């Protein structure tokens, strides 16, 4: 377990990370979520030891030097372009304490895990964005760290690269503790036990996805019309408070009202072509906007 207490960083008199306290339980995955400038990179840099906190503490059970137990993938990793993937991973392993005699074998093992066996002898300068990110994960796990920290691991990737990296992280999640920052919330929804919402350096909300949903989620009906005009016309004629986005109309459900039957009885007498009616929850993105907008 890693316990972070009152973590604070001041730059030029301004608290860019302001009194953060949270716990990373062993074997869980935590997403640090916040808009640009919220303090995510600064927080992760303090955890990895790259920045000294102005205040606060970071403690790991039974460990004096927490830095040895951390694997880190920075937001903009710098791979020496003249090295091959194998040379780079082996070097990182040695720098992180893997004994020289084991480093090559261990590098080969992690490159295999991230699907780069066939590319291990290619120079890193020839790698695509997705391959670089997978190499970044390999170098972060080569010394078998207890805590894996990743700064925006999928933000710069296309959907295929993103899927590959998410699948790798889901596998790693089974035997490591993971902390990653992101502003791509669909990914967080898929692979996270704990969410930390950061706004202007402060933790404004923290908890499991379930807890946060229970606290902030609301249910709505989503009605799909054939056009935006039809959806807007429906909104003006409806007795129910309705919002419109593109060809969809949304009606919030409050205290169980309206029921689907009540809604259908209103819809059925209106002269619109309706393609679909469904009861939906908020996306994590909408919940995030609700939380950080407060
Ligand atoms: N070395 C520094 N000196 C002064 N100010 C800094 C320094 N590093 C970061 N900051 C400031 O601290 C604040 C938080 O920056 P940080 O990079 O941690 O945010 P972030 O949430 O990671 O943003 P992004 O999503 O854009 O990467 C910003 O206002 C930034 O300008």
On whether the CB atoms of residues 138 and 111 are closer than 8 A, the answer is yes
pLDDT band at 101 (very low <50, low <70, confident <90, very high): very high
Mutational test site, ligand 1, from 17, 36, 37, max ligand atoms within 8 Å of CB: 37
**Ligand 1 neighbour 9 (Cβ under 6 A):** no
pLDDT score recorded for residue 64: 64
Q: Rounded to 10 degrees, what is the CA torsion of 239, 247, 34, 161?
A: 150
Query: What residue has token string 């030891």?
Result: 49
Q: What is the b/e burial string over 174-185, where b = at least 16 CB atoms within 10 angstroms of the residue's CB?
A: eebbbbbbbbbb
CA distance 264 to 267: 5
pLDDT digits (tens, 9 = 90+) for 178-202: 999 987 777 777 788 899 999 999 9
Average pLDDT over residues 24-33: 92
Assign residue 193 a region (left: φ > 0; alpha: ψ between -120 and 50; beta: otherwise): alpha
State the distance from the centre of ligand 1 to the C-alpha of 112, rounded, in angstroms. 35
Closest-CA residue, ligand 1 atom 5, reads: 11
State the distance from the centre of ligand 1 to the C-alpha of 193, rounded, in angstroms. 26
Q: Is 33 helix (H, G, I), strand (E, B) or coil?
A: strand
pLDDT score recorded for residue 140: 94
| CA geometry: angle 205, 29, 35, nearest 5 deg | 45
pLDDT of 60 strictly over 70: yes
Ligand 1 atom nearest the C-alpha of 75 is 27
**Ligand 1 neighbour 39 (Cβ under 6 A):** yes
pLDDT score recorded for residue 294: 59
Q: Is 271 exposed, middle or buried (0-12, 13-18, 19+ CB in 10 A)?
A: exposed
On whether the CB atoms of residues 135 and 85 are closer than 8 A, the answer is yes
**Taking the model in full, what pTM does it have?**
0.84
On whether the CB atoms of residues 253 and 279 are closer than 8 A, the answer is yes
The ipTM of this complex is 0.95
Please, what are the domains in the chain? 2-215 (3.40.50.300), 217-292 (3.30.70)
Helix (H) or strand (E) holding 140: helix 129-141
């Amino acid at each position: 377990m890693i316990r972070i207490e009152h973590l604070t960083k001041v730059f030029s008199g301004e608290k860019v990370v302001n009194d953060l306290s949270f716990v990373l339980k062993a074997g869980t995955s935590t997403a640090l979520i916040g808009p640009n400038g919220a303090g995510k990179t600064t927080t992760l840099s303090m955890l990895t030891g790259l920045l000294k906190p102005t205040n606060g503490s970071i403690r790991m059970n039974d460990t004096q030097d927490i830095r040895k137990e951390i694997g880190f993938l920075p937001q903009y990793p710098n791979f020496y372009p003249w090295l091959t993937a194998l040379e780079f991973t082996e070097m990182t392993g040695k720098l992180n304490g893997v004994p020289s005699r084991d480093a090559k074998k261990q590098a080969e093992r992690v490159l295999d895990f991230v699907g780069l066996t066939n590319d291990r002898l290619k120079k890193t300068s020839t790698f695509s964005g997705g391959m670089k990110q997978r190499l970044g994960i390999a170098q972060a796990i080569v010394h078998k760290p207890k805590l894996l920290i990743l700064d925006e691991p999928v933000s710069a990737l296309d959907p295929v690269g993103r899927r590959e990296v998410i699948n790798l992280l889901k596998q790693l999640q089974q035997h490591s503790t993971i902390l990653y920052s992101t502003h791509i919330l669909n990914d967080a929804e898929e692979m996270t036990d704990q969410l930390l919402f950061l706004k202007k350096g402060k933790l404004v909300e923290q908890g499991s996805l379930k807890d946060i949903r229970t606290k902030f989620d609301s249910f709505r009906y989503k009605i799909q019309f054939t056009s935006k005009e039809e959806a807007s016309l429906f909104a003006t004629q409806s007795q129910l408070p309705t919002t419109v986005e593109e060809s969809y109309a949304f009606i919030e459900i409050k205290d169980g009202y309206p029921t689907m039957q009540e809604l259908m009885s209103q819809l059925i007498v209106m002269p619109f072509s309706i393609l679909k009616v469904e009861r939906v929850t908020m996306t994590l993105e909408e919940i995030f906007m609700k939380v950080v907008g407060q």
